[in-house]
Amino acid sequence: MKKVININFQGRVIPIEETAYDMLTRYVESLRLFFANEEGKDEIINDIEGRIAELFGETLKKGSICITDADVNTIINSMGRPEDFEADEEKVHTKLGAESRGNYSYGQSGTTGRGRLYRDENHKVLGGVCSGIANYFSIDPIVIRILFIVFIGITFIPYLILWVAVPSSSSLQIGSQRKRLFRDTETKIIAGVCSGLAQYFNVQLWVPRVLFLIPFFSFVFRWGHWGWWDFPHFLSFSFSPGSIFVYIILWLILPEAKTAADKLEMKGEKVDLNNIKSTIQGDLEGFKDRAQQFGSELKDRAQSMGEELSSAGRKFGAEASAVGRRTGGGVGHVIKVIIKIFVYFFVGCFLLAIVGSLFGLGVVLTGLLPAYSYVLDSNYQEVLAWCSLIFFIWVPVIAIVTWIIRKLTGKKGNSGIIRLTFLSFWILGVICFVNLVISISSEFRYRNYPTEQRVALPNPNVNKLEIKAAAFGKYYSQNWLRLEPFASVDDDTVYVRNVRLRIIKSTSDSFQVFMVKMANGSSKDEAEKTVSRINYNVAQKDSFLLLDKGLPITKQGKFRNQQVIVTVAVPVGKRIYVNDNVGWGNDVRVNMGRDNDFWDWENNMESVSLRWDHNVEYVMTAKGLERVDKSRGEDEDNNDNENDNDNSNETIEQFRKSKEQMEREKEQKLKELQEIDRELQKTDSTFSDSTRYRYRRSTPEAPTTPQTKKPKRTDIASTDVAEPSDMLMIKFAL
């Protein structure tokens, strides 16, 4: 029986046998002697102890009660002994390097092949399935776990099956060679995710960074990312937020490679004494180089700062002397500074608004990329459109992102060249954008003269006409981003919603349907040609009037603001019903009166427009359209009137309560004034009866004829209730 003690080793409480503890102590002391003359010896010993503590934790996690002599010997053999490096260090280093390249698996060292699939209980999170698959394919478990989470809908059932069917194994050899995924913060730009991926897959650092940036450019050139719950494929790399989400997830779940052991595992190298020493010494050399570079940069900055301070001091002295000669210059300077602050604030807000507008415009124009071939008429316009989108819209956004990244990373080199490059590209974009607007505007300069065409109905004498939409071929009604007027895009046709519906009173006893087609063009003749190519179908089937939901625009026809206004004349006494599947929205207008001859939609704004509801049956009367189920409409109107009456009654009640409160306050003030009046009367009677404090002359006065004094009339004494204004005057006089 061996004695077991608890020790605090590298921040971990480790139960260990006393003999194993003595063995560990001798091993650590031998390491201190071996690395006594090495640079960074303390860091080397600390990292070795940290690695040993980590291996102790793995041993205890397997179910061991304490660390035994065998466990310590296994770890020492894995890490290496100092005497192994003293005889022929170069030979041993070569041997260890060959071993580090031999096997990257989690299994037994020295074994070849993949062997059998087990669930890894040593590194499990749920059931050890992902860690077992990672062990089998010699990759990091985090990669498998991310794939299982992303494709959870597909992998959930297989995970349960593997959990039940695959046996578990705890045969991981302590200290075996393995490769793990970390964040490398030494060469990071943001969080070190890309540099960690480069170290793990042994590729150049620029490769993962370019892969994460590609979606931002593919977003500009692609349209296929719409879908999946009417949202872009945020889990794929076809849309820029996909790479952002993946980067953030990796940032959160990947640990940072802090110790030398972590850096060795990140590269897949064996964690032993020699590699730990080489890693730490390499870090120290890199730190020295960075310190020297920082010192030279600091020296240059200090010199430039000294020159700037001296010039600023001379300038300040000149300004101070000038200010001293002026009266009130200090106040003027303060006002000037305040004005500058406000100007800078408003300029910053203005620039931020411009950038936000450009970004939104860029997203909208990027979304319209599939329809550009239906609008642009020549290769010249296409070149201008691409240049405008890239240089005028996206270059400012990329420039701001670049500026933010350089500010965060502290990089200031080549700032002038980068600034001049972005400015040149943006000026080029402005020129292209202006030319594009001028070129496209010329294609919409003129408009055709609208003429009304009557549509023949096979059965115009029906008593009720229901208007329905005849849906066109390939229509997607739930796009995440609906860009009017484009409703749908097929392989060679785009559909626009420029269709309006007017309902008027018929002058005959039968239904009549009229249609007006309009379009723009570079000339009147071109506009007429565009109108002649409009293919819009109106057909009657029994009591249904079928209308196309949109206007088809082909790549040869081009979009020139084609519009169609359909007018339905309803006879008096007959009914009409507009089905909700038409999807007209506010594009249904009821016209009554003298303006029924106008087809131009804008002119109808002055007409009489009734409140219109879909899926409601109306009947035409001499006064106009009325709902067939009047009770419902009246109930809605009554509800509105009741709400208005309730609001009016509530206002009257509040006014009455306010008036009563004012009356009570007035009565209280009158009582206070009457009390003051009584006090004043008592005071006057007291002074009239006493002569104690009257003034008397020392010399006799000539006798005078006594006269009867008439008491002065006061409003208080003469009235039962004084006016409030008089009482207030008396109160303030006292």
Q: Name the residue among 592, 588, 572 with its Cα closest to residue 506.
A: 572
CA–CA distance, 100 with 301 (Å, rounded to integer): 45
CA–CA distance, 601 with 455 (Å, rounded to integer): 19
- 452 and 506 fall within a common domain: yes
CB-CB contact of 130 with 145 (8 Å): yes
Structural domain count of the chain: 3
List 517's β-bridge partners, or say none.
Answer: 564
- 463 and 430 fall within a common domain: no
333 vs 259, 314, 343, CA distance in Å? 55, 18, 15
pLDDT below 70 — which residues of the chain?
Answer: 1, 39-40, 82-116, 121-122, 153, 164-165, 168-179, 215-243, 260-261, 268-334, 348, 351, 363-371, 404, 407-413, 471-492, 580-614, 630-651, 683-734
**Phi (first) and psi of residue 90, to 5 degrees:** -65, -40
- 489 and 557 fall within a common domain: yes
CA–CA distance, 18 with 74 (Å, rounded to integer): 17
Domain boundary among 401, 424, 443: 443
Give 457-493 pLDDT, tens digit per residue.
888 888 888 888 775 544 443 333 344 444 445 556 7
- 418 and 488 fall within a common domain: no
CA–CA distance, 614 with 576 (Å, rounded to integer): 11
Is residue 99 included in any domain, yes or no?
Answer: no
Is residue 253 included in any domain, yes or no?
Answer: yes
CA–CA distance, 648 with 115 (Å, rounded to integer): 85
With H, G, I as helix, E, B as strand and everything else as coil, classify residue 446. strand
With H, G, I as helix, E, B as strand and everything else as coil, classify residue 566. strand
Find the Cα–Cα–Cα–Cα dihedral 225, 227, 230, 233, rounded to 10°.
Answer: -50
Q: Name the residue among 354, 446, 432, 444 with its Cα closest to residue 400.
A: 354
Residue 471: the pLDDT is: 56
Residue 732: the pLDDT is: 44
Which helix (H) or strand (E) is 385 found in, with range?
Answer: helix 379-387
List 452's β-bridge partners, or say none.
Answer: 516
User: Under 8 Å CB-to-CB from 376, ≥6 apart: which residues?
Assistant: 382, 385, 440, 558
Residue 55: the pLDDT is: 83
Residue 595: the pLDDT is: 46
Is residue 238 included in any domain, yes or no?
Answer: yes
- 463 and 548 fall within a common domain: yes
Is residue 82 included in any domain, yes or no?
Answer: no
CA–CA distance, 293 with 290 (Å, rounded to integer): 5
Specify the pTM. 0.42
Write the DSSP assignment of 253-317 as a string of letters. HSPB--SHHHHHHHHT---SHHHHHHHHHHHHHHHHHHHHHHHHHHHHHHHHHHHHHHHHHHHHH
CB-CB contact of 516 with 499 (8 Å): no
- 463 and 603 fall within a common domain: yes
Beta strands 493-496; 551-554: pairing state: antiparallel
- 430 and 460 fall within a common domain: no
- 468 and 450 fall within a common domain: yes
- 573 and 606 fall within a common domain: yes
> Taking the CB of residue 674, how many other CB atoms lie within 10 A of it?
15
Beta strands 168-169; 119-120: pairing state: parallel
Domain boundary among 578, 613, 633: 633
Cβ-count burial of 556 within 10 angstroms (0-12 exposed, 13-18 middle, 19+ buried)?
A: exposed
Longest dimension (CA), the chain: 148
> Taking the CB of residue 636, how many other CB atoms lie within 10 A of it?
13
Cα radius of gyration rounded to whole Å, the chain: 45
179 DSSP assignment: -
CA–CA distance, 543 with 196 (Å, rounded to integer): 70
Position 271, amino acid: V
Q: Report CA torsion sign: 116, 78, 180, 57.
A: positive
Look-up of token digits 């290769």: 379
Is residue 280 included in any domain, yes or no?
Answer: yes
CA–CA distance, 436 with 391 (Å, rounded to integer): 13
Residues in the chain: 734
Beta strands 452-455; 538-541: pairing state: unpaired
CA–CA distance, 452 with 7 (Å, rounded to integer): 97
- 241 and 270 fall within a common domain: yes
Cβ-count burial of 297 within 10 angstroms (0-12 exposed, 13-18 middle, 19+ buried)?
A: exposed
Domain boundary among 289, 319, 343: 289
- 450 and 433 fall within a common domain: no
Query: Residue 563: which region, alpha, beta or left (left: phi > 0; alpha: psi -120 to 50)?
Result: beta
- 362 and 503 fall within a common domain: no
Which helix (H) or strand (E) is 525 found in, with range?
Answer: helix 524-532
At CA 246, angle to CA 242 and CA 249, rounded to 5? 140
> How many secondary structure helices (H) and strands (E) does the chain include?
21, 20
3-state secondary structure 643-695: HHHHHHHHHHHHHHHHHHHHHHHHHHHHHHHHHHHHHHHHHHHHHHHCCCCCC
Is residue 279 included in any domain, yes or no?
Answer: yes
Cβ-count burial of 344 within 10 angstroms (0-12 exposed, 13-18 middle, 19+ buried)?
A: exposed
Q: Name the residue among 632, 635, 598 with its Cα closest to residue 615.
A: 632
Q: How many CA atoms lie within 13 A of 500 on its CB side?
A: 19
Is residue 717 included in any domain, yes or no?
Answer: no
Which helix (H) or strand (E) is 350 found in, with range?
Answer: helix 329-367
> Taking the CB of residue 249, how many other CB atoms lie within 10 A of it?
14
Beta strands 464-470; 493-496: pairing state: unpaired
**First-to-last C-alpha distance (Å) of the chain:** 107
> Taking the CB of residue 63, how many other CB atoms lie within 10 A of it?
9
Q: Is the bond preceding residue 485 a cis peptide, omega within 30 degrees? A: yes
CB-CB contact of 220 with 390 (8 Å): yes
Helical axes 18-34 vs 69-79, angle rounded to 10°: 20
Domain encompassing residue 437: 351-443
CB-CB contact of 406 with 414 (8 Å): no
CB-CB contact of 599 with 565 (8 Å): yes
Is residue 369 included in any domain, yes or no?
Answer: yes
